Chains A and B, each alone.
Chain A
Amino acid sequence: MPINVISAGIATTIQDMGRPGYYHLGIPMGGAMDRLALRAANLLVGNDEEAAGLESVFVGPELEFTEDATVAVCGAELPPKLDGEPRETWTAFPVKAGQVLSFDFLKSGARAYIAISGGIATPPMLGSRSTYAIGALGGVEGRAVQPGDTLPLGKGSKPVREGLSVPANLRRGPGNPAELRVLPGLYWHRITEQAQKDFFDDTWKVANEADRMGYRFQGGRKLEFVEREQPFGAGADPSNITDACYPYGSVQVPSGTEPIVLHRDAVSGGGYFMIGTVISADMDLIGQLQPHTPTRFVKVDMDTALAARHDRASTINAIREALA
């Protein structure tokens, strides 16, 4: 028995943990931008934590249920309402057949993850239900959710305790200003010492051009490049390099002005130098940044990055234990 989509907000997509393994062909792994939030939402409703749910940006959908289910909304503070009555985020709540789930105005964060017991059971493509609209993969016929869609649900979720909630200290989100830790990369030497310092000293702001492919930042000082004769195959701008692979989280700065952090739907390569890479532990946080959010980049080394990855994994483990 499906869920009827009455309205879909501005961008609601089906996402799971993505389709790693095809990036060398230009197909990004995709999947939830804030993976911790989707895992938590799935655990709250008794799903496999990698099951497909809905990722809603800024505005929630309106969904009519045609069977009883358990629902949880994690990530952004996008307050859920059931038949108009408020419900808590980060907390499992029961929904009866015929009831309508809707949302109030966004309070903080950017992306809410809506998990429904059973998980969304659209056909997987290349091993994932994640929506990659540019490549028409996953989702509903390769696209975002639209009014009039019916979303099939799977089976096999475990029974859960009603009112189960993620403890407040395990709900991870960005601060204000947001801090994103960056490991300087292969092209670090391309900018001057002054620019290397400025990049981390300045407070940037999230630009309006911020989506699943990448997040653009504005407002810091322009980066000056070390002079060189451009190598064969590189464009004329000093920020150009001979085409190279773009890692997830890599920070390119076209013409030295506005850094772009590539995210889950990243392009796999191109001709802009990258100052470094946002560490994997902080990728979830980017998915929760609204436009105009003040943001600092914090320089770290590999040991710090690996320790942060370990800490994030421990947080997810603590959520598993708290909800078990």
Chain B
Amino acid sequence: MAKHEVRSPIPGTFYRKPAPDQPVFKEIGDTVAKGDTIGLVEVMKTFHEVKADADGTITGFPIGDAEPVMAGQTIAELD
């Protein structure tokens, strides 16, 4: 199956958890449905959810938690 990349539309700081003391939204190997939240991007004093734009199984997170993200950068890879 072709690989699909979920990309962040906005630059900022990428977070895999909804809050520092909570578990990550998704782990590698999790199945996701289109519309599922994969992470948050913080910019301009607000947090924006980044959602899957396809169904699939997560095979990787090219960006770590709390790392800078550029607009258009891949935040999760799906199979």
Contacts and interface: CB of A to CB of B under 8 A. Distances in A.
Do A and B interact with each other, yes or no? Answer: yes
Interface of A: 10-11, 57-59, 105-107, 110, 208-211, 290-292
Interface in B1-34: 7, 9-13
A291 B72 contact: no
Given A58-B10, A106-B11, A208-B42, A292 B68 contact: yes
Nearest to B8: A105
Contacts of A106: 9-11, 71-72
Given A291-B11, A291-B12, A105 B72 contact: yes
A59 B72 contact: no
Q: Which of B10, B46, B48 lies at the interface centre, i.e. has the most chain A CB atoms within 10 A of its CB? A: B10
Contacts, number: 49
Contacts of B10: 10, 58-59, 106
B6 to A, nearest CB: 12
The prevalent SS among residues of A at the interface is loop
Contacts of B7: 105
A39 to B, nearest CB: 24
A211 B9 contact: no
Given A58-B43, A107-B71, 16 more contacts: A10-B10, A10-B46, A58-B11, A105-B9, A106-B9, A106-B11, A208-B12, A208-B13, A209-B45, A210-B44, A211-B44, A211-B45, A290-B11, A291-B12, A291-B13, A292-B68
Interface of B: 7, 9-13, 42-46, 48, 68, 70-72
A290 B13 CA distance: 11
Contacts of A58: 9-11, 43, 71
Contacts of A290: 11, 70-71
Contacts of A292: 11, 68
A11 B11 contact: no
Nearest to A76: B71
A106 B41 CA distance: 15
Nearest to B68: A292
A239 B37 CA distance: 41
A208 B70 contact: no
A62 to B, nearest CB: 12
Contacts of B45: 208-209, 211
Nearest to A57: B44
Nearest to B7: A105
B70 to A, nearest CB: 7
A209 B45 CA distance: 5
A70 B44 CA distance: 31
B48 A10 contact: yes
Contacts of A291: 11-13, 43, 68
Contacts of A211: 44-45
